[in-house]
Structure 1
Amino acid sequence: MEKNTFFSKILFYLLLILIAIVMIFPFYWMFITSLQPLQAVYKYPPEFFPKKPTLDNYKEIFTKFNFMRYTLNSLFVATLAALGQLFTCSITGFAFARMHFKGKELLFGLILATIMVPVEVVIIPEFLLMKWFGWINTYLPLIVPSFLIGTTGIFLMRSFYENIPMELEEAAVIDGATPFQVYWRIFVPLSRTPLSALFIISFLINWNDLLRPLIYINSVEKFTLPLALINFQGEYSAQWNYLLAGAVVSVIPILVVYLLMQKQFIEGITSTGLKG
């Protein structure tokens, strides 16, 4: 029996190793290709371990193609959009979790139903609205919608706030606290973990967003990283060495944010009962 258990564990770990290799290989291939000149990309058979790696592609994208500016643009947009969503989703989640008003469940159901509506369905009326505001070729259309649209964040924060003991809220109300003071002074300090998870999710979505920058941004100096990357791909060919070097650069901030906040992210997801 113990022998069967031992071999079962070996097979299980071998399966995990195989899955890890399959998942990691595309990132490894992206990285090693970014260290080679363009002609080496089309070499057959391909080299899995380049003999003469070089950083010339990275030097080119930062000096010739101004990738530092695009990186800062993406950081600005993704950070502000994520921070704004922390406030709107947390206060909305608090209202749905702890306040009582007519039609609350119906309204919450309608908000959840918006998950099934693709962005492409509403992008035309959204564009007309942004044009009417005079926000074309600014970062406002990339940031403001995230302030107002955060269905996943609202659901996450509502689930967390429903599990906070009622005694804390009752004690604050007895002391004369208003609903906003209860939210700001009690619930927000207690919700750092789910807020961290929400920040990572929102940051990732806005960092990788291509549709809205493609529609609203016209000036090259205002490009975000996803928008800058598509310039390396033409109708009939692509500059794969620059494209993959830029892709590596675009992945690094996401990894840094996740590594710094991975503990809070995992705890935030598990504390609210969300499953991937």
Structure 2
Amino acid sequence: MNKLRPTDFGSYWYEISKELSGIEMNSEISMIPIRSNASSTLYSVSLVGANNYPLKGYLSIPNKEGRFPAIYFAPRNASVLEIIPQGMSTNVRDQFVIFSLACRGMRNSDNPHVSMYPGQLTENVDSVENYIYRGIVADTLRGLDFILTRPEIDKNSLLAYGNDIALLAAALHGAVTHVVATPAYFFDTIDIAKLTNSYPLEEFNDYLRLYPDSELNVRETLSYFNLRWHAQSISANTLIICGDSENVYSKSNLTPFIDNIAGKITVKESENSAYKDGLFIQEWIADEIGDGVPILPQHWK
């Protein structure tokens, strides 16, 4: 791993925020009747991101008066944009403002750029300035800017949900009050990738087999995204779902990151069960920003 944080780490991320501040968001929403119901209304969202890139998302708002806690499903390393993740109860739309964003290259936001899956994680990874995730993190921050414009949200309860990108959102944008995240590829990436042949980390191994002479440049780029260096900036209440003891992202391997998170931290070792892990997550969300009663899929009851 790069044992030291890059000397220009702060300025690298500041420049992204500065760039976004100089670009009009030009947000537009349009109701989607077929995806709306008696309890909530769904809208398609259009935004303008860094480099004037056009972005798309989904916004769901409860059909009742008041301000509501919000859940932001941060962009993932996946080709398809979902309103909510598969397996989660659609009833969350009744109690929370929900926003999900397709980052650049992902379906819905794939014009002018189309990413390949697998392959997206290593697009221009040998260039600090041109790495695709520089733009994706900027897109994620722009999504948070959009959420803050909505009068329906309770700004004291804004949860970022996802993987490493949700954690970067919490580190880089002060609006995030809570995080649920499963680290998957941005902690000591190259060293951890060498311990496994499983995707998504195997994408980095594939890349370095093709371009072995680029390893130093790749390590330099990834050092700016390494969760190790972002931990101290995460002040949100955080739930980390880590792998079991056999997983390369086990609690033990993630300790240098977990121990340096500035905010209140809960760590859950995965039981490799969508039901058991999902129940823990929903109970945590209910206690932190909900009414104390977890919202569960019908087949879990």
The structure with the greater share of residues assigned to helix is: 1
Higher strand share: 2
Bigger radius of gyration, 1 or 2?
1
Q: Normalising by the residue count of structure 2, what TM-score does the alignment of the two structures yield? A: 0.28
Structure scoring higher RCO (CA < 8 A, sep ≥ 6) equals 1
- What's the TM-score once normalised by structure 1's chain length? 0.30
